[in-house]
A and B are shown apart, each in its own frame.
Chain A
Amino acid sequence: MTRVFLGWGALMATIFLVGLLFFGFGDPVNAALFGSTVVVMVAIAAVLTVSGLGRSLAGGARSLPDVSPPTLLLAVAIVVAVVGAQLGLWLALIGGGLGLLAVGGLVREARAQRRALRRAAPAPPMRRDGEGAA
Chain B
Amino acid sequence: MSVAPSLAGRRPSLVELAAATDHKRIGLMTVVTALGFFFAGGLLALVMRTELAHSGMQFLDHDTYNQLFTMHGTSMLLLFAPAVVMGVGTYFVPLQLGAAEIVWPRVALLGFWLYLGGGLTAWSGFLTEGGAASFAWFAFLPLSDSAASPGTGSDLWVLGVGLSQLGVLLLACPIMATIVRRRAPGMTLLRMPLFCWSMVSTILMVLVAWPVILIAMTLLFVDRNVADVYTVGGGSVTYQNMFWFFAHPLVYVIFFPLIGVVGEVIATFSGRRFFGFRVTVFSQLLFAALSTSVWAHHMFTTQAVNNRFFSLTTTMIAVPAGIEYLAFLATMWRGRIRLKTPMLFALGFVLLFLIGGLSGIFVASPPLDYHVHDSYVVVAHFHYTMFGGTVFGLFAAIHYWFPKVTGRRLSEPLGRWHWALMVVGALLTFVPMFVVGYDGMPRQVADYAAFRGWDTLNLLSTVGAYTLLVSFLLFLVNVLRSRRVGEPAGPDPWRGQTLEWATASPPPRHNFDRLPPVRSYAPLLDLRLEEAAARRRARGRAAAGGGAAGGGAAGATEGAA
Contact = CB atoms under 8 A, between A and B. Distances in A.
Interface of A: 1, 4-5, 7-8, 11-12, 15-16, 18-19, 22-23, 27, 29-30, 33-34, 36-37, 40-41, 44, 48, 53-62, 64-69, 71-72, 74-76, 78-79, 82-83, 85-87, 106, 125-130
Given A12-B289, A29-B238, A83 B121 contact: yes
Nearest to A24: B306
B493 interface: no
B241 interface: yes
A66 B22 contact: yes
Closest 4 CB pairs of A and B: A75-B113, A79-B117, A22-B309, A11-B289
B185 A128 contact: yes
Interface string B181-211: 1111111010000000000100010011000
A36 B214 CA distance: 15
Contacts of B517: 128-130
Contacts of B101: 59, 61-62, 64
Interface string B301-312: 000001011001
Contacts, number: 173
Contact of A33 (B1, B181, B212): B212
B207 A44 contact: yes
B359 to A, nearest CB: 24
A7 B186 CA distance: 23
B152 A126 contact: no
User: Do most interface residues of chain B lie in helix, strand or loop, or is the interface mixed?
Assistant: helix
20 contacts: A1-B180, A1-B189, A4-B200, A8-B289, A22-B306, A22-B312, A29-B234, A33-B242, A37-B292, A58-B185, A59-B183, A68-B109, A71-B19, A72-B19, A79-B163, A83-B121, A83-B156, A127-B514, A128-B186, A128-B514
Contact of A106 (B106, B117, B309): B106
Contact of A19 (B1, B245, B285, B309): B309
Given A1-B180, A59-B98, A83-B159, A126 B515 contact: yes
Given A8-B204, A59-B184, A64-B21, 8 more contacts: A4-B285, A11-B286, A18-B309, A58-B184, A68-B21, A74-B110, A78-B114, A128-B186
